[in-house]
Amino acid sequence: MGKNMIEQSRWLSVEEIALHPGIKQDTAYKWVAKKHMPAHMLGHLLKFDKAEIDAWVKSGDAETRKR
C-alpha cells in the first residue's frame, strides 16, 4: 500500500476535518450534534472519514439555510 493510499484512507481529527470545507472546529461539533454530520467515536475522540464528509456535503445535508 503506497503512502498516498494510506493518507487517503486514514481517519481525520476534528481539526483536520474542519480545514477540509473551511469551517471552524466549533461548527464541526455543532454539525455532528445537530445535522448528523458523519462522525465515529474512537475511544474518546471523534474521527471522520473524508469520503463520508464529502458525500454528506454533496447530499445537501450541510446546507445552512432553510429552503
pLDDT one-digit tens code per residue, 15-45: 999 998 899 999 999 999 999 999 999 999 9
The reported pLDDT for the residue numbered 42 is 92
Cβ contact 11:43 at 8 Å: no
All three cell numbers of 45: 475522540
The reported pLDDT for the residue numbered 33 is 95
Q: Which of 48, 10, 43 is nearest to 28 (CA)?
A: 48
Instruction: Give the pLDDT band of residue 2 (cuts 50, 70, 90).
Output: low
What pTM did the predictor assign?
Answer: 0.77
Return the DSSP state at 48: B
pLDDT for 45-54, tens place per residue? 999 999 999 9
CATH of domain 3-58: 1.10.10
pLDDT for 3-12, tens place per residue? 555 455 789 9
